[in-house]
Structure 1
Amino acid sequence: MKRRKNGTYSTKTGGSSKFRRRVFYIDHAFPLLGHIAFGIIDRGTNLLQVRPSSLCPLSCIFCSVDAGPLSRTRAAEYMVNIEHLAEWFRQIAEYKGEKVQAHIDAAGDPLTHPKIVGLVEKLRKIKATSVISMETHGLLLSTSLADKLDDAGLDRLNLSIDALDPSLAKRLAGANYYNIMRVVEVAKYIASSLKMDLLIAPVWVPGLNDEEIPRIIEFALEIGAGKHWPPLGIQKYEAHKYGRKPEGVKPMRWSEFYRKLEIWEQEYGVKLILKPEDFGIRKAKRVPCPFKKGETLRVRVVGPGWLKNEWLAVARNRVVSVVGVEGPPPVGRGIRVEIISVKDGIYLGAPL
């Protein structure tokens, strides 16, 4: 994957040329607050989401953000310079004035970043960093990479295992090349041989992997996951606007979900209904929002949008996604927009 003069990469994200998408390189010229797919997300706690890459090698059939080679909504992917990302984390953590957790996640899989180990190393060197955690589906994980992440200072790996049955695991991952048995072996190695903790985080998709969830609970307990934190984080499938919706699957009610977790808690003697405090997460000072919903302002277009009919823009040292547009982004041009959303520090603007 070679970098072009315009700051983008070209990459094939699937087995066919029709899945070719640009990977846009986010360097020091870009702010790292304001976008859902890259940079840093501050939701007003002592945990910051750190997103180095939006790429994903899988196309999970329940994916809430339509990630992977089979995405129908994405126009571009993003890859962030790790020095730039670590520096923004440091500045935001210092603003909060307390120890801050770095949770490396993605609207994809963070292991797609070629310098992911270096990112962990840089975050660990920041004085304000407390816990460093990371989530992955494990396709790109190996014992060698796990060793490097452990040495770099990763405290916990949240590993998404949605089925132990090989055929079902491939179906849920939307990828025939997904080898769950290989992922299982790496999980066993991490739990038995490394300092980092392991949390198994399946997504329960009703009607598809109901029988797999008890098996996954038993697996997590058998291998010794959860040395310092809960061993499992079972997630409820939700249907999202831009996410994939498996045919015939209807999200269960929260009351039903929690009732079943309570039954499994009694059966297996393990905590499954989790709260932020189980991970030391609490409210903390939030980075100020420089925009107000409904205000109009001028933004500068800097690149392609993440989704179709979007452009990437900047204003007031923040990223703004300009939605409802057509054609290639007029990079360098200033346009007027109305801010239509500022929720959780993710900024959307509509052109005027």
Structure 2
Amino acid sequence: MVKVKLPNSYFEDLGDSIRLVWRRTLYADFDRKLIEKSIKRKFKTKTNVSVEDGYLVVDVEHPEVENFLNFLISSHLGEFLKSRYTERKVIYIHEGMDVPLLGYNAFGLIDRGTNLIQVRGVSGCNLSCIFCSVDEGPYSRTRRFDYVVDVDYLLKWFKDVAKIKGKGLEAHIDGQGEPLIYPFIVELVQGLKDMREVDVVSIQTNATLLDDKLVEELAEAGLDRANVSIHSLDPEKAKMIMGKKDYDLEHVLDMIEAMINAGIDVLIAPVIIFGLNDDEAEDMIEFARKVGAGKRWPALGFQNYIPYKFGRKPTIAKLVSFRDFYAWLRGLEEKTGMKPLVLKPKHFGMHKRKFIPLSFRIGEVVKVKIVLPGRIEGEMLGVARDRLIEIINTNAKVGDTIKVKIVRTKHGIYIGTPVK
């Protein structure tokens, strides 16, 4: 009998299939009979495959069975890889694919002309918030794929960007979804913190996937601040806003306190939907005071809900102009004494920095090689001049070379449309 277990993973028995759970966030299902047939073909012996205590168990004695299964599963992992939280197929991006990590919104790095660099190692979310600007989460109707970027490849690109941007950087881990579903989150924080150009490592999170062990690991790795998305202190209302019936508000509040106790500063970051949760603002301020949020940075970062083209739009929402929103915040400052609530870049040590030079100009026609499918129907990703370009309204396929007209270059995010 041979027992097989891959690093950072365990197996589950699903009956007709065997599931490999890798780094708690990803999985791949393998047909049990196909595994047994592969062993029979290779070793000329009939066998049964089962799962025991997270191990894959094979009832055959042969010194090479373990190596064979390791190779078999590893070589097909990318083909079957899915997210445990969205159930979508995952495209794993690594150095061997030669996919640039500048130019696209959903993964990689984003430079908006300051000393803060956005770091996006993963797309996808475990929640389906009713106001989500990118229609993320398990109930998304538009997202086709998720991406995961290999941590060494992501750090390599960040290091190159940091050399251009200079010292005193904040590496802000965020994304189109929940960054804690990234399978290498601790390694990413540690790698960023170890760079001499980086002073601050921060993260945007809904905190639902935290536990005491992960909080401690993130603190030890050097996480400085967590911006926590919490939109109601009422458990039932919070479930409705977060779009999940099993959303555990009490757990999130406990994890906020755990982070603060571990030395990670916390900024409470509610999205205010007027007519739904604006009446809870003072309670949120009191909660932030009670737990000791905002020791080094502001304790709260209220955000005004605004609808987006591809986002979800709660019918109950009363849209409020930013002028009125800031007036509302100033009123809260006066009433509660909590300042600042009207936040400015200086409150986070942010300042303008020279942009990474743009690779394209608007209106330019560029020959692009299609390398990946995009996240929504009619979208593909192409490469030119060591940058990614999101190509919209296209029926091109991976491997095609097409001409596109650049229609957007803002903040180094490139969008193009096909031309003949």
TM-score by length of 1: 0.94
Instruction: Report what 1:107 is aligned to.
Output: 176
How far apart, CA to CA, are the structure 1 residues paired with 2:193 and 2:116? 14
Structure 2 equivalent of residue 257 of structure 1: 325
Name the amino acid aligned to 1:63.
C
Aligned-partner residue type, residue 267 of structure 1: K
How many Å apart are 1:5 and its aligned residue? 5.1
8 A contact 1:64–1:239 mirrored in 2:
yes
Q: Does 1:11 align with 2:82?
A: yes
Which of the residues 89, 93, 99 maps onto 2:158?
Answer: 89
Q: Given residue 319 of structure 2, which amino acid in structure 1 is its aligned partner?
A: P
Partner of residue 215, structure 1: 283
Find the residue that maps to 2:327 and give its secondary structure: helix
One of 323, 347, 350 as aligned partner of 2:414: 347
| 1:41/1:60 CA distance change after superposition, 3 Å | same
Q: Distance in 1 between matches of 2:75 and 2:394?
A: 25
Distance in 1 between residues matched to 2:83 and 2:226, nearest whole Å: 28
Tell whether 2:213 aligns with 1:144: yes
One-letter amino acid matched to 2:406: I
Measured in 2, the distance between the counterparts of 1:272 and 1:74 equals 34
Instruction: Note the 1:107-256 alignment, pairs <5 A.
Output: 107-191=176-260, 193-256=261-324
Aligned-residue identity in percent: 44
2:90 aligned with 1:23: yes
Which residue is 2:66 aligned to? none
User: Cα gap change, 1:237/1:82 in structure 2, threshold over 3 Å: closer, same or farther?
Assistant: same
CA distance in 1, matches of 2:282, 2:273: 13
**Mapped partners of 1:4, 1:284: distance in 2:** 43
Aligned length: 345
1:115, 1:89 → 2: CA distance? 15
Query: Cα–Cα, structure 1 residues 287 and 6, in superposed 2: closer, same or farther, change >3 Å?
Result: farther
Offset of residue 6 of structure 1: 9.3
Query: Which whole-Å deviations, capped at 9, do the CAs of 1:53-107 have from their partners, x for residues lacking one?
Result: 1110000000111110111121211111111111111111111223211000010
Cα contact 1:47–1:102 (8 A) shared by 2: yes
Structure 1 residue 11 displacement after superposition: 2.2
Cα displacement (A) at 1:12: 5.8
Moved segments of 4+, more than 3 Å: 2-10
Deviation (angstroms), 1:292: 0.9
Equivalences for residues 253-332 of structure 1 within 5 A = 253-270=321-338, 271-326=340-395, 330-332=397-399
With 70-79 and 153-162 compared, the bigger mean Cα shift is at 70-79
| Deviations 1:20-39, CA, capped at 9 Å, x for gaps | 42211111121100000100
Secondary structure at the residue paired with 1:122?
helix
Rounded to whole Å, the distance in 1 between the matches of 2:327 and 2:79 is 48
Q: 1:8 deviation in Å? A: 5.3
Q: Match of 1:62, SS?
A: coil
Please say which structure displays the higher CA radius of gyration. 2
**Cα deviations by residue, 1:321-345 (Å, 9 ceiling, x for unpaired):** 110023xx52222111111111111
Q: For residues 247-285 of structure 1, give each alpha carbon's deviation from its aligned partner in whole angstroms, at most 9, with x where no partner exists.
A: 132321112211111111112211100000100000001
Q: Residues 63 and 336 of structure 1: is their aligned pair in 2 closer, same or farther, counting only changes over 3 Å?
A: same
- 1:72 and 2:141 correspond: yes
Letter in 2 for 1:344: H
**Alignment RMSD:** 1.6
DSSP-derived class of the 2:238 partner: helix
Q: Which moved more, 1:31-40 or 1:75-84?
A: 75-84
Post-superposition CA distance 1:157-202 (Å, at most 9, x none): 11111001010000000001110111001112222x2122111101
Asked whether the 8 Å contact 1:8–1:25 carries over to 2, the reply is no
Structure 2 gap ranges (5+): 1-26, 29-73
Determine the C-alpha separation between the residues in 1 that align with 2:77 and 2:209: 29
SS at the partner of 1:151? Answer: helix
Distance 1:181 1:164, change over 3 A: same
| SS of residue paired to 2:278 | coil
Q: Choose between structure 1 and 2 for higher RCO, CA contacts under 8 A separated by at least 6 residues.
A: 1
**Equivalents in 1 of 2:324, 2:205: separation in Å?**
27
What are the equivalent positions in structure 2 for 1:52-63 lying under 5 Å apart? 52-63=121-132
> CA 1:256–1:90 in 2, change beyond 3 Å: closer, same or farther?
same
CA contact (8 A) 2:267 2:293 kept: yes
Higher mean alpha-carbon deviation, 146-155 vs 181-190, is at 181-190
Distance in 1 (alpha carbons) for counterparts of 2:156 and 2:367: 27
Contact 1:13 1:69 in 2 (8 A): no
Q: Does the CA-based 8 Å contact 2:83-2:146 persist in structure 1?
A: no
Question: Offset at 1:7?
Answer: 4.7
Partner residue in 1 for 2:400 = 333
Amino acid paired to 1:273: V
- Cα offset for 1:9? 4.8
The amino acid across from 1:333 in the alignment is D
Amino acid at match of 1:324: N
